[in-house]
Amino acid sequence: MHVPTGMRRVVAVVCATALASSPVLLAPTTAGAAGAATTSARAATPHLSALLTKKTIVVKGADDLKAGRAHLEVRGRGIVEFATFKAGYDVADFTADVNKFGAKNDIKALKRALKNTTIIGGLAGGGSGTIVFPKPGAYTPFSLGDRGVVTGKTLVVAGPKRSSKTPRTDGSIIGKNGPAWGGASQLPAKGRFEFKNKADQPHFVAMQQVQPGTTTDQVLAFLQSEEEGPPPSWLLPASMETGTLSPGRSMTVDYDLPAGQYVVMCFFPDPKMGGMPHALMGMLRMVTLS
């Protein structure tokens, strides 16, 4: 959930610069699709595709979907993620609360949304990976853009839950309390990581390439500065972003990025800190892709 906040402008500098220069996030779509076709015949891991447009999200492959792990492939400009709501709270409530928070930094609305919503992950357009539907129920695809929340038709996920192993991964990126990051400090430039949230707040992964030798202190100082100006000299074009995971959830993410140094950040707003994005509280970690 990428909620605009007071600090959004600063964050947008990083993202816009990165995205404008080079949409480097090239998930291995062809290979992934071929692999998935083979796998689905044998192990019946469902394959979902989600297309994000300006007005809606069209998900295919969700007929007869059972709880458990599913492959996900996303197309479109933005991030598609999936949420399930507590009884008495629905997609209209969620949309209203998130938009209220986005427009007016309404922390009560943010807290209400978080209390009633479990976000199970998602991917940016061009991305592929796996997400886990933890139990039978209704799951709604959503995307948060500059103009607020876009949603698609709610999926009905049936039981019983299929047992499905985590696919082989090259390493983990772990969201922790603090807020802080754990997991791998080295990953291959092309591969698959598992993103796990072991914290008591939602997190997402934003990876941004930086000049070798850049420190988290430099990035933090930039994020915290309110100054307009040219992008910092350490900012390099490549980046990628995942959807959000609520506490206890995990997903896998396929990626293919230029080798180099990256800062891993999370910009999820902290309701206990007036909606401050976690990165500004120091949720920054350097990772080397080689």
Q: Smaller CB distance to Cu ion: residue 117 or 154?
A: 117
Query: How many angstroms separate the CA atoms of 139 and 141, rounded?
Result: 7
Distance CA(141)–CA(53), nearest Å, equals 12
Q: Give which of 197, 123, 171, 130 is closest to 290, Cα–Cα.
A: 171
Q: Which residue has the tokens 């709270």?
A: 89
Classified as helix, coil or strand, 229 is coil
Segment interacting with Cu ion, rule: CB under 5 A, options 11-19, 70-78, 160-168, 276-284: 276-284
Beta-ladder partners of 236:
none
The one segment of 60-68, 74-82, 159-167, 263-271 that binds Cu ion by CB under 5 A: 263-271
Per CB under 5 A, does 2 bind Cu ion?
Answer: no
Which residue of 2, 69, 192, 278 would you call a contact of Cu ion, by CB under 5 A?
278
Alpha helices in 127-264 (DSSP H): 216-224
- Minimum CB separation of residue 205 from Cu ion in Å reads 9
The whole-angstrom distance between residue 171's C-alpha and the CA centroid of its chain comes to 17
Of 127 and 277, CB closest to Cu ion? 277
Alpha helices in the chain (DSSP H): 8-21, 29-43, 91-104, 107-116, 216-224
Least distance from Cu ion to the Cβ atom of residue 40, Å: 33
Q: Is 266 in the site for Cu ion (CB under 5 A)?
A: yes
**Residue 89 C-beta: closest distance to Cu ion, Å:** 22
Is residue 268 a contact partner of residue 1, using CB atoms and an 8 Å limit?
yes
Q: Which is nearer to Cu ion, 119 or 266 (CB)?
A: 266
Report the residue from 2, 196, 203, 249 that binds Cu ion according to the rule CB under 5 A.
203
Q: Return the residue of 36, 268, 275, 281 that touches Cu ion, per CB under 5 A.
A: 268
**Interface ranges with Cu ion (CB under 5 A):** 203, 266, 268, 278
